[in-house]
A and B are shown apart, each in its own frame.
Chain A
Amino acid sequence: MIMDELLYIQNDVMPALMKGTWISVLLIVPSAIFGVCMGVLSATARVYGHRVVKFAGDTYVLLFRGFPLLIQLYIWYFGLPRMGIYLSPYWASVVTFSLCSGAYQSEYIRGALLSIKQGQLAGARAIGFTQLQTVVHVVLPQALRRALPGCGNEIIYLIKYSSLAYMVTCIELTGQGKILASASFKYVEVFSIVGAVYLLLVSMATWILNSLEKRFAIPGFEQHQA
């Protein structure tokens, strides 16, 4: 009995979940990177941009934080073909996750941008920096250090909401789990393993983010240890 169970896990569950995990990683990594980029761009636009740019940034965040993620996913995958734009399940998912993640990242980064002492902006202008140079060389390097814990939090969250991709037939970890469980009715076993894989991914991400925080720590910007 137990033997059967172990064989089922070894022969059916593990290969399928390995495949699914790989797809999940392929969804998460680019979405996290694009998300941070969108967050940096939109936050900078909202804090330092001209009125029009600022309005565009505010609208972006309002829409992409306001619409439920699943609805966004449906629009990109099922809705766009009506306008002649066809995205594969994978790309529809990456686009959705990147834009949604970017909207949340935007808030973390905006907060960090606002925390930078204004005097430094005057200091930068006084030596002849343009507005763009000031933002790129003075404000962002500091703001990103301050935003890192928050941005990390959003990436952890992204790892888990990437499971929604299976709703548009991008069969990643959760999707594989669903297929296996429906076939065998071993919901507890399969989803326990699926959950454990997510836990593992989150642990790895946490470790990487902590290393980044350490790597970029400089005196005056340490994260105070509780």
Chain B
Amino acid sequence: MKTDTEPILEINHVTKSFGTNTILHDVSLSIKKGEIKVIIGPSGGGKSTFLQTVNFLVMPDKGSITLAGNRVNPSDKRELCTHRRQVGMIFQDFNLFDHLTALANVEIGMIKVLGMKKKAATERAMAELDRVGLKDQANQYPAQLSGGQKQRVSIARALAMDPRVMLLDEPTSALDPELIGEVQSVIRDLGKGGMTMIMATHQIGFARSLADEIIFMEKGRIVEQGSPDELLAQGAATRTRDFCARIAEIGGE
């Protein structure tokens, strides 16, 4: 009998190199259902690569990923597709399908991957678009949407697949400052709804208010991890705090 104290997703000893350049050194992380973990750290520190290894968009050289007790075998293509559709991924630059309307972007996965009937898929897609506040933009093409709207469509697209875990790779980094809020509020709502999430971000304030745990990643290693209060408390002598202070100086937040 599984309990909620058991992790839904376990990442064990993941290592990844490109040529002689090692991006991830033996990184492990586990997350329980409903938890939100936020990865921060300098650019090039491996945050994005790490998230991409979790759903095998980047194949790890070593290590394993276990989702809901099932250790994924990356050489089995079918298992890989099954794993990916259970792990929602939000990208920095949205990656919407440019030739499809917002509605069709959300529908297509349900129809082609889950094998749902068109009518049921449309209903569900409209519900998801409504959830991210874009019901009235359903028939717009990506080229007609703002960055914030595109990111919200991509969130709806991921949600429509009923993911067990969501991975968010700097979801607001490509957005104009005035559009960041609308995406953050959608993510915040997801968290309130109990969605399990791992998010990489540079928005320290957002990370702090959302995260159950902050993970500070640098040079392909997890350097520190702990609750926001521990790592970011006044006077805490942590790398995380140094880093955040530096970002604040530059004018991040």
Contact = CB atoms under 8 A, between A and B. Distances in A.
Contacts of A206: none
Residue in B55, B85, B109, B142 whose Cβ sees the most chain A Cβ within 10 Å: B109
Contacts of A141: 99
B99 A128 contact: no
Residue in A123, A127, A128, A145 whose Cβ sees the most chain B Cβ within 10 Å: A127
Nearest to B55: A126
B95 A130 contact: no
A117 to B, nearest CB: 7
Contact of A218 (B84, B87, B99): B99
B154 A123 contact: yes
29 contacts: A117-B95, A117-B98, A119-B93, A120-B95, A120-B98, A122-B57, A122-B89, A123-B95, A123-B97, A124-B97, A126-B87, A127-B108, A127-B113, A127-B158, A128-B85, A128-B113, A128-B161, A129-B109, A129-B112, A130-B77, A130-B81, A133-B112, A138-B97, A141-B99, A142-B97, A145-B99, A218-B99, A220-B99, A220-B142
Residue in A117, A123, A219 whose Cβ sees the most chain B Cβ within 10 Å: A123
Contacts of A19: none
Interface in A96-125: 117, 119-120, 122-125
B91 interface: yes
Given A119-B94, A221-B99, 18 more contacts: A117-B95, A122-B57, A122-B89, A123-B96, A125-B57, A125-B84, A126-B158, A128-B113, A129-B81, A129-B109, A129-B113, A145-B99, A218-B99, A219-B143, A220-B99, A220-B141, A220-B143, A221-B98
A217 to B, nearest CB: 11
Interface string B2-43: 000000000000000000000000000000000000000000
A137 interface: yes
Contact of A127 (B52, B98, B143, B157): B157
Interface of B: 52, 55, 57, 77, 81-82, 84-85, 87-89, 91, 93-99, 108-109, 112-113, 140-144, 154, 157-158, 161
Interface residues on A, range: 20 to 34
Contacts of B81: 128-130
Contact of A126 (B77, B84, B98, B144): B84
A142 B143 CA distance: 13
Contacts of A120: 95-98
Contacts of B108: 127, 137
Nearest to B95: A123
Nearest to A216: B99
Residue in B57, B97, B113, B158 whose Cβ sees the most chain A Cβ within 10 Å: B97
A218 B97 CA distance: 12
Interface in A49-89: none
Nearest to B158: A127
A117 B95 CA distance: 8
A124 B95 CA distance: 8
A61 B144 CA distance: 38
Nearest to B93: A119
Interface string A136-152: 01100110010000000
A126 B105 CA distance: 13
Contacts of B96: 120, 123
Contacts of A130: 77, 81
A68 B95 CA distance: 43
Q: Which A-B residue pairs are the 7 nearest by beta carbons?
A: A220-B143, A128-B85, A123-B95, A126-B89, A127-B109, A119-B95, A219-B141
Nearest to A123: B95
A127 B57 CA distance: 11
B207 to A, nearest CB: 22
Contacts of A123: 89, 91, 94-97, 154
A138 B104 CA distance: 12
A220 B141 CA distance: 8
Interface in A206-226: 218-221
